[in-house]
Amino acid sequence: MRPGPLFLLLTLCLPAVTQAEENPPQPLAEATSAQAQIDDLEQRLAISEEQRQALSVELQSASNEHETVQLQRLRQDNQRLKLELKKNQASAPKPLISEQQMWFATGAGAGLLGVLIGALLRGGRRSRREWLN
């Protein structure tokens, strides 16, 4: 075998061997200090969870209060706008003809226009013989 591939194989296997040697088993004293750290972290977690709960309740009550104020303001604006609408509707001038009269006039105009176009298209082609048949 040539030395190149052997050296490459040895280089690739070396990190796996060194990682296995880096993690020796922990002595008993380190395990108990780790357990103490875990207990301390669990206590801190419980305290932070209680604080988070208290904060969420506080924020929820604050948002409910804000929504109530906003709802009251919107109701006042709604009442003000209704009064303004009634005032504007009362002061608006009445139309000359109603909507029903407008539709009647439009229909009459369309009918007269149709008669006029029909008379123009037919022209003077009509003779007296057509009536005698």
22 belongs to a structural domain: no
pLDDT digits (tens, 9 = 90+) for 83-111: 999 998 888 888 888 999 999 999 999 99
- Asked if 97 and 105 count as a contact pair (C-beta separation under 8 A), the reply is yes
31 belongs to a structural domain: no
Task: Round to whole Å and give the CA distance between 28 and 5.
Answer: 44
Tell me how many domains the chain contains.
1
pLDDT digits (tens, 9 = 90+) for 58-74: 888 888 888 889 999 99
73 CA to centre of own chain: 24
104 belongs to a structural domain: no
Q: By residue range, what is the domain housing residue 78?
A: 42-90
- Asked if 88 and 81 count as a contact pair (C-beta separation under 8 A), the reply is no
8 belongs to a structural domain: no
102 belongs to a structural domain: no
108 belongs to a structural domain: no
pLDDT digits (tens, 9 = 90+) for 11-62: 776 665 555 555 555 556 677 888 889 999 999 999 999 999 888 888 888 8
